[in-house]
Amino acid sequence: MAEEFELDLDDIERRMDGALTALRQEFLTLRTGRASASMLEPIMVDAYGATTPVNQVGTVNVPEPRMITINVWDKSLVGSVEKALRESGLGINPMTEGTIIRLPVPELNEERRRELSRVAGQYAENARIAIRNVRRDGMDQIKKAKADGLGEDDQKFWEIAVQEATDDAIKRVDAALENKQEDIMQV
């Protein structure tokens, strides 16, 4: 008789949740026509010989719905921060006043909204792929256990549990995508 097989379903669900968390982080970087400090998170600045996140060289604030300000702590880094913002692909033109950089967030046009919506769809597809990879790992563990003597009823039980976790995670990805696309397309 084979030893009792116990699949770590919590680990599988945790890894699937990790894909959803990563998706939400990627969604934060997509601008929706409203200012958000999280839009600047992926931007790296050349500071002191190393690449540093913009929020570690200055204070990022959102004083009004269509404006982001960065109060750069070191005056010598203002140029580097401005350069990083221009090259970031956000489509925002920084205005510098001393150590304060103002980023007026322009209204999105229809074409840019559609483009951002497609990008959001690509992010969601990457999350689905990550979830399916976790599912495949779980199914491989079950197949290996079957080869080691796992009963057919137990095999079906674990396969159904993994599939249900996968379906639930994919539904949450789809819901997050739908919400983000609604947010992007909102005028």
The predicted-structure confidence for 98-108, as pLDDT tens digits, reads as follows 989 998 887 77
Look at the block and give the residue holding tokens 């880094």. 77
What does the block give as tokens for 179? 């919400």
Q: What is the pLDDT of residue 178?
A: 94
Residues 174, 118: Cα–Cα separation, whole Å: 14
Alpha carbon distances (Å) from 146 to 87, 89, 137, 142, 143: 53, 50, 14, 6, 5
Domain boundary among 89, 104, 119: 104
Q: What CATH number is attached to the domain comprising 138? A: 1.10.132.20
Give a yes or no: residue 2 inside a domain.
Answer: no
Residues 139 and 178 in one domain: yes
Sheet holding 95-97, edge to edge: 58-64, 67-72, 100-104, 95-97
Helix axis angle for 110-147 and 9-28, nearest 10°, is 170
Tally of domains within the chain = 2
pLDDT at residue 183 is higher than 70? yes
* pLDDT tens for each residue of 3-32: 567 888 899 999 999 999 999 888 877 767
Selection from 94, 26, 43, 36 nearest residue 61 by Cα:
36
Residues 42 and 134 in one domain: no
Q: What is the pLDDT of residue 3?
A: 57
Residues 69 and 135 in one domain: no
pTM above 0.85, yes or no: no
Quick check: helix, strand or coil at residue 51? strand
Give a yes or no: residue 173 inside a domain.
Answer: yes
Residues 99 and 113 in one domain: no
* pLDDT tens for each residue of 136-168: 999 999 999 888 888 889 899 999 999 999 999
Q: What is the pLDDT of residue 165?
A: 95
Q: What is the pLDDT of residue 58?
A: 92
Q: What is the pLDDT of residue 90?
A: 74
Q: Which domain holds residue 176?
A: 9-27+109-185
Q: What is the pLDDT of residue 170?
A: 96
No. of helices (H) and no. of strands (E), the chain: 4, 6
Q: What is the pLDDT of residue 2?
A: 45
Q: What CATH number is attached to the domain comprising 83? A: 3.30.1360.40
Q: Judge residue 161's burial from the number of C-beta atoms within 10 Å of its C-beta, 0-12 exposed, 13-18 middle, 19 or more buried.
A: middle
pLDDT at residue 1 is higher than 50? no
Radius of gyration of the chain (CA): 23
Domain boundary among 104, 128, 158: 104
Give a yes or no: residue 174 inside a domain.
Answer: yes
Give a yes or no: residue 144 inside a domain.
Answer: yes
